[in-house]
């Protein structure tokens, strides 16, 4: 057992590559992070940044081949999830570490009643009798706010709406009372009002049960309300990590700043939005130096050749930007620039 | 332009119903999905109207009905003084020059077998806006206007990224110099950094060309940014219509309030401080909308009168219309 100050999950130098006919796609290329008990770590990034592949890697759900975990460790409660034998992993996965996927329609078995699917982990991991498991399944549905749970357990997934299915998925992920929940874009397919219900539910259950959550999303709004700490990913690499408030209000990487400034909420209506020039890089090609340097407004020669790794700037707040470390660049968001501009006028 | 009508677009009591059939051989109609169920709105030239609502509220169907892609079951649509819902097929083809559409998915809305040149030249040649000799120059001009280098003219859609494809789709919509653009979730499929490029382009184009635009989106942040006025839809009806600033500052309909409070803000302190109005359950089926106010089963201000009669849009303040019996009390 671990002591209280070691993190629940510690990931070091994780690399997952896909060996395809067109070359090696470095989907995740050396990321490190940790999750403490009961806290929420938000992982943000655009499509192709490797955030989902990271989570699939932790659950060892990467199709091999073509995928391969090249290096790294993911220590959960003293056990390395990436190296432990499949037999032992099965006792952890779906029991102590569980996952919610983005699309609840494709992740529920359409042929099985939801009750059966909810009971399965209890029968396998907890050794409950069918009767007890069924009672527990009904209670789990009640906990996620599904009315008439006693009869709803006998329904098939197609008889539920999108929001309800996502509730079933959450009930299923939490039924074994896991210590760690990985939520991969759990609300992206849902409408805002339903999203608000689901986010509220995850927060409530997390508070009650002390579950740690890794919350993966591309939506900065969702992250700002959910996460205690944030990890920003770009092209398979981590570019910034820190407490949510620090990352949002004082970003220390030009990519984080660009991401925040690209959203309309950072601007007055109709005002020209900040844009990032160019396109995300092709991760199957070698990317020397900082992966963002090709699109970065502040990049210098050294950025394209020096390996960029996260270095801590202040307690718990790290950035991979070379120029920020050297002190030759101060990252300022539009909002801050605007506020100080107004201050000068007043 | 017609001197009698000031409004560029007039939608009058439009209803679009999709019949639902049952039975394999002797199909009989058992009901109808009332996707759009009585919408009246008007727009000035050069105005951008945001149309928001959750999936299934009928916002896309309304856009397509105005475009005459789906003919309305009832009611009329008048664009620039011409009643387009009454036109013959041939006249409609000619009239379509005036109003064009941009779709959500730039992967599905471009023909994969046509080069950018083919895609952009086709409407120009069809409507006689360019001769064979001038068409290359016109296509280059269009491409430059949407921020694409003309040297990519001979490339196919699969050679472009999502954002670039959306630029091609925008260029195609602009080719005929339309006066009205209906953009159906044009940035929803794009990443934030690409989304901001396309939004800047759309803001710029509407100003430069004095375009009238209906911007359909479920993303309230984007709608707030681009629109002059906003219409909120719920189950086939407009529940609130107001200037963007007024709507976001003082939403009057309980549904609008809930919708606005549900939008996550990219600001941790504000997120922590705000209180959410959580709605119960899911929107009901548009096949069988609730009696009376359609929102009453989920509304926390509901009283008996709301079940009995369906509220019509009425003016709550200058330029601010709301369809709620109790809007003055709440």
Identify the three-state secondary structure at position B39.
strand
Q: Give the residue on A whose Cα is nearest the Cα of B207.
A: A270
Final residue of a domain: which of A227, A258, A282?
A227
Final residue of a domain: which of A182, A204, A227?
A227
Q: CB A269 to CB B191 under 8 A? A: no
pLDDT (0 to 100) of residue B179: 93
Q: Tell me whether B29 touches chain A (CB under 8 Å).
A: no
Which residues of A make CB contacts under 8 Å with B? 46-47, 161-164, 191-197, 199-200, 218-225, 244-245, 248-249, 258-260, 262-267, 269-270, 272-276, 279
Place of tokens 């940044």: A49
Q: Are residues A163 and A288 in the same domain?
A: no
Q: Are residues A172 and A318 in the same domain?
A: no
pLDDT (0 to 100) of residue A340: 64
Chain A hits for B53, CB-CB cut-off 8 Å, are: none
Q: Are residues B79 and B181 in contact, defined by beta-carbon separation less than 8 angstroms?
A: no
Chain B hits for A146, CB-CB cut-off 8 Å, are: none
Final residue of a domain: which of A179, A208, A227?
A227
What whole-number distance in Å separates Cα of residue A146 and Cα of residue A156? 14
Q: Give the residue on A whose Cα is nearest the Cα of B191.
A: A46
Q: Give the residue on B whose Cα is nearest the Cα of A160.
A: B282
Chain B hits for A249, CB-CB cut-off 8 Å, are: 268
Q: Are residues A141 and A254 in the same domain?
A: no
Q: Are residues A199 and A318 in the same domain?
A: no
Query: Tens digit of pLDDT for each residue in B65-103?
Result: 999 999 899 999 999 888 998 889 899 988 888 999 999
- Report the residue from B163, B200, B266 with minimal CB separation from A265: B266
pLDDT (0 to 100) of residue A346: 29
Compute the mean pLDDT over every residue in chain A, rounded to the nearest whole number: 88
What whole-number distance in Å separates Cα of residue B304 and Cα of residue B306? 5
- Beta-carbon contacts of residue A139 (< 8 Å; ≥ 6 apart): A149
Candidates A46, A225, A267, A272: best to mutate against B (most CBs of B within 10 A) is A225
Residue B16, phi then psi, degrees to nearest 5: -125, 110
pLDDT (0 to 100) of residue A344: 35
Chain B hits for A245, CB-CB cut-off 8 Å, are: 268-269
Give the closest-approach CA distance of B3 to chain A in angstroms: 31
pLDDT (0 to 100) of residue A16: 94
**pLDDT greater than 50 at residue B13:** yes
Identify the three-state secondary structure at position B209.
helix
Low-confidence ranges of chain A (pLDDT < 50): 1-2, 342-346
Residue B79, phi then psi, degrees to nearest 5: -120, 125
What whole-number distance in Å separates Cα of residue B241 and Cα of residue A196? 23
What pairing do the DSSP bridges indicate for beta strands A311-314 and A79-80? unpaired
Q: Are residues A162 and A52 in the same domain?
A: yes
Q: Are residues A180 and A319 in the same domain?
A: no
pLDDT (0 to 100) of residue A138: 94
**pLDDT greater than 80 at residue B270:** yes
**pLDDT greater than 60 at residue B3:** no
Q: Tell me whether B278 touches chain A (CB under 8 Å).
A: yes
Place of tokens 């660009």: A258
Q: Tell me whether B261 touches chain A (CB under 8 Å).
A: yes
pLDDT (0 to 100) of residue A44: 94
pLDDT (0 to 100) of residue B1: 43
Helices and strands: H and E segment counts in chain A:
13, 12
Interface of B with A in 93-152 (CB under 8 A): none
Domain ranges, residue A279: 238-345
Q: CB B271 to CB A224 under 8 A? A: yes
Give the closest-approach CA distance of B73 to chain A in angstroms: 28
User: Residue A222 maps to which CATH number?
Assistant: 3.40.50.300
Candidates B215, B266, B284: best to mutate against A (most CBs of A within 10 A) is B266
pLDDT (0 to 100) of residue A115: 93
CB atoms within 10 A of CB A143: 19
Whether residue A167 lies inside any domain: the answer is yes
What whole-number distance in Å separates Cα of residue B192 and Cα of residue A108? 30
What whole-number distance in Å separates Cα of residue A321 and Cα of residue A311? 8
Q: What's the complex ipTM?
A: 0.82
Whether residue A233 lies inside any domain: the answer is no
Q: Give the residue on B whose Cα is nearest the Cα of A201.
A: B278
Chain A hits for B282, CB-CB cut-off 8 Å, are: 161-164, 194
Q: Nearest to residue A268, comparing CAs of A334, A344, A223, A220?
A: A334
Q: Give the residue on A whose Cα is nearest the Cα of B203.
A: A270
Domain residue ranges in chain B = 253-330
Size of interface A-B (CB pairs under 8 A): 117
Record the pTM.
Answer: 0.87
What whole-number distance in Å separates Cα of residue A82 and Cα of residue A336? 42
Compute the mean pLDDT over every residue in chain B, rounded to the nearest whole number: 90
How many structural domains is chain A composed of? 2
Q: Give the residue on A whose Cα is nearest the Cα of B245.
A: A269
Q: Nearest to residue B282, comparing CAs of B217, B237, B221, B235?
A: B235
Give the DSSP letter of residue B183.
Answer: E
Query: Tens digit of pLDDT for each residue in B102-161?
Result: 998 888 899 999 999 999 999 999 998 899 999 999 999 999 999 999 999 999 999 888
Q: Are residues A58 and A158 in the same domain?
A: yes
Chain B hits for A194, CB-CB cut-off 8 Å, are: 54, 282
pLDDT (0 to 100) of residue A343: 38
Candidates A146, A163, A191: best to mutate against B (most CBs of B within 10 A) is A191
Q: CB B196 to CB A244 under 8 A? A: no
Chain A hits for B265, CB-CB cut-off 8 Å, are: 221, 224-225, 265
pLDDT (0 to 100) of residue A255: 94
Q: Residue A105 is encoded by which pair of tokens?
A: 């329609």
Across the range B174-181, mean pLDDT stands at 93
Q: Are residues B45 and B212 in contact, defined by beta-carbon separation less than 8 angstroms?
A: yes
Rg for chain A (alpha carbons), in Å? 21
Q: CB A161 to CB B55 under 8 A? A: no
Q: Give the residue on B whose Cα is nearest the Cα of A273.
A: B196
Q: Tell me whether B168 touches chain A (CB under 8 Å).
A: no
Give the closest-approach CA distance of B132 to chain A in angstroms: 33
Q: CB A47 to CB B196 under 8 A? A: no
Chain A hits for B196, CB-CB cut-off 8 Å, are: 262-264, 273-276
**pLDDT greater than 60 at residue B198:** yes
Give the closest-approach CA distance of B320 to chain A in angstroms: 19
Q: Are residues A264 and A122 in the same domain?
A: no
Q: Tell me whether B245 touches chain A (CB under 8 Å).
A: yes
Q: Are residues A207 and A270 in the same domain?
A: no
Q: Are residues A184 and A119 in the same domain?
A: yes
Q: Are residues A220 and A71 in the same domain?
A: yes
- Beta-carbon contacts of residue A268 (< 8 Å; ≥ 6 apart): none
Q: Are residues A22 and A159 in the same domain?
A: yes
What whole-number distance in Å separates Cα of residue A7 and Cα of residue A76? 8
pLDDT (0 to 100) of residue A341: 55
Q: CB B192 to CB A46 under 8 A? A: yes
What whole-number distance in Å separates Cα of residue B215 and Cα of residue B212? 10
């Amino acid at each position: 057992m671990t002591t209280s100050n070691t993190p629940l999950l510690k990931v070091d130098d994780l690399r997952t590559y896909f060996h395809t006919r067109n070359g090696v796609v470095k989907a995740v290329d050396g990321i490190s992070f940790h999750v403490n008990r009961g806290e929420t770590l938000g992982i943000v990034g655009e499509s192709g940044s490797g955030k989902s592949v990271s989570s699939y890697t932790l659950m060892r759900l990467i199709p091999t081949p073509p995928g391969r975990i090249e290096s790294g460790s993911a220590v959960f409660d003293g056990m390395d999830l990436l190296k432990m034998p499949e037999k032992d992993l099965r006792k952890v996965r779906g029991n102590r570490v569980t996952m919610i996927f983005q699309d609840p329609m494709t992740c529920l078995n359409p042929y099985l009643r939801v009750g059966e699917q909810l009971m399965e982990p209890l029968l396998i991991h907890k050794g409950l009798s069918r009767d007890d498991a069924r009672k527990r399944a009904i209670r789990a549905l009640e906990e996620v706010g599904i009315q008439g749970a006693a009869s709803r357990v006998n329904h098939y997934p197609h008889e539920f709406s999108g929001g309800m299915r996502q509730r079933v998925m959450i009930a299923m992920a939490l039924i074994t009372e896991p210590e760690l929940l990985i939520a991969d874009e759990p609300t992206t397919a849902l409408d805002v009002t339903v999203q608000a219900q689901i986010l509220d539910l995850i927060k409530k259950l997390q508070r009650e049960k002390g579950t740690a959550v890794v919350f993966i999303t591309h939506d900065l709004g969702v992250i700002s309300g959910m996460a205690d700490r944030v990890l920003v990913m770009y092209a398979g690499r981590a570019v910034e990590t820190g407490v949510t408030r620090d990352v949002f209000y004082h970003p220390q990487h030009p990519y984080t700043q660009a991401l925040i400034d690209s959203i309309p909420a950072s601007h007055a209506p109709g005002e020209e939005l900040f844009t990032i020039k160019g396109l995300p890089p092709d991760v199957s090609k070698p990317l020397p130096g900082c992966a963002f340097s090709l699109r970065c407004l502040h990049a210098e020669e050294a950025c394209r050749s020096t390996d960029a790794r996260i270095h801590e700037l202040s307690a718990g707040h790290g950035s991979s930007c070379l120029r920020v470390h050297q002190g030759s660049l101060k990252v300022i968001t539009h909002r801050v620039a605007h506020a100080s501009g107004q201050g000068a006028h007043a | 332009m017609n001197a009698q009508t000031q409004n560029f677009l007039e939608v009058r009591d439009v209803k679009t119903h999709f019949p639902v059939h049952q039975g394999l051989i002797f199909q009989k109609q058992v009901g109808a999905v009332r996707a759009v169920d009585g919408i009246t709105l008007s727009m000035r030239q050069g105005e951008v109207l945001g149309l928001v609502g959750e999936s299934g509220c009928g916002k896309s169907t309304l856009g397509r009905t105005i475009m005459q892609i789906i003919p309305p079951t009832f009611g009329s649509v008048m664009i620039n003084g011409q009643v387009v819902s009454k036109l013959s097929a041939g006249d409609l083809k000619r009239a379509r020059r005036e109003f064009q559409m941009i779709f959500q998915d730039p992967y599905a809305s471009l023909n994969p077998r046509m080069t950018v040149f083919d895609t952009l030249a086709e409407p120009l040649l069809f409507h006689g806006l360019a001769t064979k000799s001038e068409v290359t120059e016109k296509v280059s001009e269009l491409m430059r206007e949407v921020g694409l280098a003309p040297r990519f003219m001979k490339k196919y859609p699969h050679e472009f990224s999502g954002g670039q494809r959306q630029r091609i789709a925008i260029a195609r919509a602009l080719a005929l110099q339309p006066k009205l653009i209906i953009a159906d979730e044009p940035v929803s499929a794009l990443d934030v950094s690409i989304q901001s490029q396309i939004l800047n382009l759309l803001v710029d184009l509407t100003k430069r060309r004095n375009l009238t635009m209906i911007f359909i989106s479920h993303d309230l942040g984007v709608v707030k940014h681009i629109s002059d006025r906003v219409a909120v839809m719920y189950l086939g009806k407009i529940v609130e219509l107001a200037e963007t600033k007024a709507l976001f500052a003082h939403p009057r309909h309980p549904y609008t309030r809930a919708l606005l409070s549900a939008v996550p803000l990219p600001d941790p302190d504000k997120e922590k401080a705000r209180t959410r109005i959580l709605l119960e359950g899911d929107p009901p089926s548009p096949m069988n909308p609730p009696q009376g106010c359609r929102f009453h089963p989920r509304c926390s201000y509901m009283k008996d009168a709301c079940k009995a009669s369906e509220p019509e849009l009425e003016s709550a303040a200058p330029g601010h219309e709301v369809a709620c019996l109790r809007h003055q009390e709440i």
